[in-house]
């Protein structure tokens, strides 16, 4: 069941292009993988469509018999090439702090390989109370339900699907591949330009929740 209005606050966040701009590091990792394997990969194209699982992207470039090896090698290379160029998106730290200011918990629910996602958070100085990786769309919703998240923030249509699946408020941020109209059409309850708008939105959302209960 969706969280009740008086349940403890837990807010879920996506990682790539929601909390962090991972495009430079992902681009660099794909470039090294391409050079190492001799397989052409258009890294500039890849970073315009972040969100779905890694294996789905690599399937566009590698034959089936080489796919798992490419996934494994990408994840190894990622640790050497992806963290240094990655930066927190504007408002990311303030958004996490806003949740905590209201006594809430932060759950990062991401499609990224979980060990690398954890290193990303450490590198960026972002602390999550819970982290679950290797999930996409409705499977993100399952994790949101498990952690009692009443709000999920993400930049991708798959994030909106996950929030809807969990019965959570779907907050879209237009910092990824989709604009406000597309996120709203996919079922977002609200779309923010970016996380800089999130603390004010959260305060208003929680005030409305309390008012509704009273």
Q: What is the pLDDT of residues 68-97, one digit of tens each?
A: 999 999 999 999 999 999 999 999 999 999
For residues 110-121, one letter each, b for 16 or more C-beta atoms within 10 angstroms of the residue's C-beta and e for the rest, the string is bbbbeebbeebb
Give me the chain's average pLDDT, please: 95
Cβ pair 150, 133 in contact under 8 A = no
H or E, element range at 21: strand 20-21
Q: How far apart are CA 191 and CA 196, in angstroms?
A: 12
Mean of the pLDDT values across residues 116-142? 97
Does pLDDT of 5 surpass 90?
no
Q: What is the pLDDT of residue 210?
A: 55
| Exposure of 49 in the CB half-sphere (CA atoms within 13 A) | 12
What predicted TM-score, i.e. pTM, was given to this entire model?
Answer: 0.94
Higher per-residue pLDDT: 205 or 6? 205
What angle is formed at CA 52 by the lines to CA 47 and CA 54, rounded to 5 degrees? Answer: 75
Cβ pair 20, 128 in contact under 8 A = no
**Residue found under tokens 């258009």:** 42
């Amino acid at each position: 069941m969706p969280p009740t209005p008086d349940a403890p606050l837990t807010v879920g966040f996506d990682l790539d292009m929601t909390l962090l701009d991972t495009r430079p590091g992902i681009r660099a990792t794909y470039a090294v993988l391409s050079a190492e394997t001799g397989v052409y990969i258009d890294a500039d194209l890849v970073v315009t469509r972040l969100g779905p699982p890694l294996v789905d992207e690599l399937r566009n470039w590698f034959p089936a018999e080489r796919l798992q090896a490419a996934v494994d090698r990408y994840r190894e290379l990622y640790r050497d090439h992806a963290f240094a160029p990655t930066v927190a998106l504007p408002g990311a730290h303030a958004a996490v702090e806003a949740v905590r200011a209201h006594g809430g918990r932060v759950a990062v629910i991401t499609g990224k390989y979980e060990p690398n996602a954890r290193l990303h958070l450490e590198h960026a100085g972002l602390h999550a109370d819970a982290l679950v990786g290797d999930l996409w769309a409705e499977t993100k919703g399952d994790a949101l339900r498990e952690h009692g998240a009443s709000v999920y923030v993400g930049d991708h249509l798959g994030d909106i699907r996950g929030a809807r699946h969990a019965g959570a408020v779907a907050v879209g941020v237009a910092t990824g591949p989709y604009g406000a109209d597309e996120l709203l059409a996919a079922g977002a309850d609200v779309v923010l330009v970016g996380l800089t708008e999130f603390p004010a939105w959260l305060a208003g959302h929680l005030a409305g929740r309390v008012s509704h209960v009273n």
